[in-house]
Amino acid sequence: MTAWTSGGGHELTAGPLHVRTMGSGQSVVLLLHGMAGAGNSFGAVYDRLAEQATVVIPDLLGFGRSMDITAPTDAGVHLAVLDDALAGLGLQDRPTVVAGYSMGGLLALRWAAEHRDTVRSVVTFAAPLYRSRAEADAHVAGLGRLESLLAGDGRLPRAACAWMCRHRTAASWMAVAYRPDLPIPVARSGVEHTWSSYSASMNGLIRDAGWVDALEHLRRAQIPVTLALGACDPALVPGRATELARTRPSVTSVVHPMADHGLPLSHPEWCQRLVAAALLDTHPTAPPERWSDRVT
């Protein structure tokens, strides 16, 4: 992740969200970050997409610089405020490729299913495609002790999150110490949320199987979906993406042989090429090794 540098573009408020935008192409690329993150997860490598499209990178409701908005953050509200943001930018009717990382991948699927008239393709990175709460909790635990703790609903995770809210600066530097592999700004953004936004998004998106119906709507609309994942990701259900690709002609699963759950940060060139391919309507059906960073 040492190759990460901060992305460019213009920062502004669109609808209720803080967003970063760049480019002026007719098509839109909407990039959605993951849980306990912000739009800065998508660094300068993703700026290249602005050569082909208008790129929009929001801080999702309740996270990052959209943290202080007072609103529930369940799936329906996340979808509505994304609509408001694009409408505020005058981009709501443009052909769109939506891509999302982890929780953002689940949101991308659900948002695309609601906008089948404008969405041209969907790309997910490390999307946790869980079919039940129990399945979600079992695999989130594989990410580490802190992640497992904060994913819970009891008094201890509430207290931990409340402490972070009261001591945001100290907590952000503790996050840097806990995750020295992450770029410092990205690690510090990991504490920019509230218990309400974190727990509601966990329950409404990660623990919720709404992606199943969304994927079916996208299949019927013949909208291409690329499920990108790392072979070393402990948070994913083994074989699920392959199963979905085998049973749905519009779905393709591509695997990076050396990546874990941090795929868009650790291998941004690989991920950026997948989104660029979706913009060109070239559904990636090549063997996984062709899409490895070992190939330039």
Ramachandran angles phi, psi of 131, nearest 5°: -100, -5
Three-state secondary structure call for residue 292: coil
Three-state secondary structure call for residue 206: helix
Instruction: Dump pLDDT digits (tens) for 17-65.
Output: 999 999 999 999 999 999 989 999 999 999 999 999 999 999 999 999 9
Q: Are strands 54-58 and 251-256 parallel, antiparallel or unpaired?
A: unpaired
Between CA 48 and CA 148 the distance in angstroms is 35
Q: What are 230's strand-pairing partners?
A: 256
Between CA 258 and CA 265 the distance in angstroms is 13
HEC per residue, 87-139: HHCCCCCCCEEEEEECHHHHHHHHHHHHCCCCEEEEEEECCCCCCCHHHHHHH
pLDDT at 150: 63
Q: Considering just the CA atoms, what is the radius of gyration of the chain in Å?
A: 18
In the structure, what pLDDT confidence band is assigned to residue 286 with cuts at 50, 70 and 90? very low
Instruction: Dump pLDDT digits (tens) for 194-209.
Output: 888 888 898 999 999 9
So what's the architecture of 10-132+209-291 in CATH? 3-Layer(aba) Sandwich (3.40)
In the structure, what pLDDT confidence band is assigned to residue 287 with cuts at 50, 70 and 90? very low
Q: What are 226's strand-pairing partners?
A: 123, 252
Average pLDDT over residues 57-79: 85
Between CA 107 and CA 112 the distance in angstroms is 8
Between CA 94 and CA 56 the distance in angstroms is 12
Q: Domain residue spans in the chain?
A: 10-132+209-291
Average pLDDT over residues 214-239: 95
Q: What are 22's strand-pairing partners?
A: 55
Report residue 133 as tokens.
């709460």
CA 245 to chain centre: 20
Q: What is the torsional sign of CA 284, 286, 292, 295?
A: negative
Q: Which residue has the higher pLDDT, 285 or 4?
A: 4
Q: Which residue has the higher pLDDT, 214 or 202?
A: 214
Q: Find the Cα–Cα–Cα–Cα dihedral 264, 218, 96, 12, rounded to 10°.
A: -60
Average pLDDT over residues 264-271: 94
Q: Which residue has the higher pLDDT, 174 or 3?
A: 174
pLDDT of 76 > 70? The answer is: yes
Between CA 188 and CA 177 the distance in angstroms is 10
